[in-house]
Amino acid sequence: MSEEGAEAVRAVRQRLSNVLSAVEQTRLRHVRRALRLVPTSGLRLVLDVGCGSGEPTLILGEEILAQERDAQVVGMDIAPQGPAKLRDAARRLGAARVHALVASATAPPFADGSVDLIWAEGSLRFAGYEPSLAALTPLLRHDGWLVFHEAVWLAEPDGVAGHELLRGARYLEEYRALARSHGLDLVSCMPLPHEVWWHDWYGPVEAFCRDSAFSNTPAVAAWAQGLLDEVAAYARAKGVYASAYMVTQKRGAPPGAPGSER
């Protein structure tokens, strides 16, 4: 791609990002719903892994800190710009018990057994399931919770699985086995309605990319077509593919109980 084409793509990508950030994030309502699947009384330390700029972290903070006077919520991401934004937002909102940290899910700076709830909103896949779960699970207290949000197959993906977007999805049983191999029980799964991502992402992306002005610049036209292909893949996968919250709980007896030394 020419330098001119790359610059044109950068500019149009920035415009799309502005459009998307102005869209109401309906998915965030579902963070509150998913949190209801976990007992929140008595939580003291909550870790949001791969927090990005921390919109879900702030919701966890709002929900948990109001009822738990000693609790702390920490958003953590490997890329520094996310935690920087979260820190600013928490300061603006006066959320003194919401903290932001730059660290990897594969090397989290917390003591074993010190965390009550780990939240991972669309981040485990990027961090790598195996190394991140191997590093995160020991941080949980003996019956702590780990909730992760990833793509799941609701039914056989006959004929719809060809696009890169859909290749990251797994069956619920695969998530259950993954969790079990790290000492976690998959307790429940809460898929989001197809319309949520349509509202927050695919609908606005499609409207933006259909702008006929893009066809004047081949590099931009190719970029827009790539996104339209993803939109089409998402539309085709309605009913068989969803993003879902997987709620898992650490297995094992309390420390000191017979047989608890594993």
Ligand X SMILES: C[S@@+](CC[C@H](N)C(=O)[O-])C[C@H]1O[C@@H](n2cnc3c(N)ncnc32)[C@H](O)[C@@H]1O
Distance in Å, CB of 50 to ligand X, minimum: 3
121 binds ligand X (CB under 6 A): yes
Distance in Å, CB of 245 to ligand X, minimum: 11
184 binds ligand X (CB under 6 A): no
> For 172-175, which contacts have Cβ atoms below 8 Å and span 24 or more sequence positions?
172/246, 175/150, 175/246
123 binds ligand X (CB under 6 A): yes
Token duo for residue 27: 């998915």
105 binds ligand X (CB under 6 A): yes
CA dist., res. 203 & res. 164, Å (int): 19
17 binds ligand X (CB under 6 A): no
Query: For residues 144 and 117, is the Cβ–Cβ distance under 8 A?
Result: yes
127 binds ligand X (CB under 6 A): yes
Token duo for residue 153: 């197959």
If the CB atoms of residues 129 and 214 are measured against ligand X, the closer one turns out to be 129
> How many residues lie near ligand X (CB under 6 A)?
18
If the CB atoms of residues 34 and 233 are measured against ligand X, the closer one turns out to be 34
DSSP secondary structure, 182-198, as one string: TTEEEEEEEEPPHHHHI
State the DSSP H helix or E strand holding residue 153, giving kind and residue range, or none if neither: strand 140-153
Residue in this structure with the two tokens 């949001």, named with its chain if needed: 48
Determine the longest span between alpha carbons in the chain, in angstroms: 72
Where does this chain touch ligand X (CB under 6 A) — which range of 73-81, 90-98, 213-221, 225-233?
A: 73-81
Query: Within 13 A of 82's CA, how many CA atoms are on the CB side?
Result: 22
79 binds ligand X (CB under 6 A): yes
If the CB atoms of residues 148 and 198 are measured against ligand X, the closer one turns out to be 148
User: Angle, nearest 10°, between helix axes 27-35 and 55-65?
Assistant: 40
61 binds ligand X (CB under 6 A): no
Q: Taking the alpha carbons of 136, 142, 146, 152 in that order, is the dihedral positive or negative?
A: positive
Distance in Å, CB of 73 to ligand X, minimum: 13
Where does this chain touch ligand X (CB under 6 A) — which range of 13-21, 75-83, 163-171, 188-196?
A: 75-83
Q: What is the DSSP letter of 43?
A: -
83 binds ligand X (CB under 6 A): no
CA dist., res. 71 & res. 63, Å (int): 11
Distance in Å, CB of 106 to ligand X, minimum: 5
Query: For residues 142 and 250, is the Cβ–Cβ distance under 8 A?
Result: yes
116 binds ligand X (CB under 6 A): no
Candidate list 9, 55, 186, 191; residue touching ligand X; CB under 6 A: 55
Where does this chain touch ligand X (CB under 6 A) — which range of 46-54, 89-97, 179-187, 250-258?
A: 46-54
The residue ranges that bind ligand X (CB under 6 A) are 49-52, 55-56, 77-79, 82, 104-106, 121-123, 126-127
